[in-house]
Amino acid sequence: MGWMAWSTVTTTFFIGIAIILICMTIWEIKSPTVERKGFLPIIATTRGDRVFIGLLGSAYIHLIFLAVSEHSIWIAFGISVVWFFSVLRWG
């Protein structure tokens, strides 16, 4: 796989996403999701919807942070983690 020039950071990133998906699958098998309404406007969401919204929101948090700030990307990462778990729990 050397010709694809994989970097450690990208590999870690995708392993992270894969772990999230595997955990969600196991969770779904153990306890199937029930649609509910949280703080997200208008829509009732399933657990999978909230993961999708959490990940998409995290991507945008990173992009907005990069566009407006020169600070370390880890700050955006921290905000994203808080956002992701908030959406998953209360969204």
Residue ranges that bind another protein, judged by CB under 8 A: 3-7, 9-10, 13-14, 42-43, 52, 56, 59-60, 63, 66-67, 73
Residue type, 53: I
Shortest distance, CB of residue 68 to another protein, whole angstroms? 9
Query: Least separation, in Å, of the C-beta of 87 and another protein?
Result: 14
Cβ-proximal residues to 28 (8 Å cutoff; 6+ apart), any chain: 47, 48
Q: Least distance (Å) from another protein to the CB of residue 73? A: 5
Per-residue buried b or exposed e for 12-32, using 16+ beta carbons within 10 Å of the residue's own CB: eeeeeeeeeeeebeeeeeeee
Residue 33's Cβ-count burial label (10 Å; 0-12, 13-18, 19+) is middle
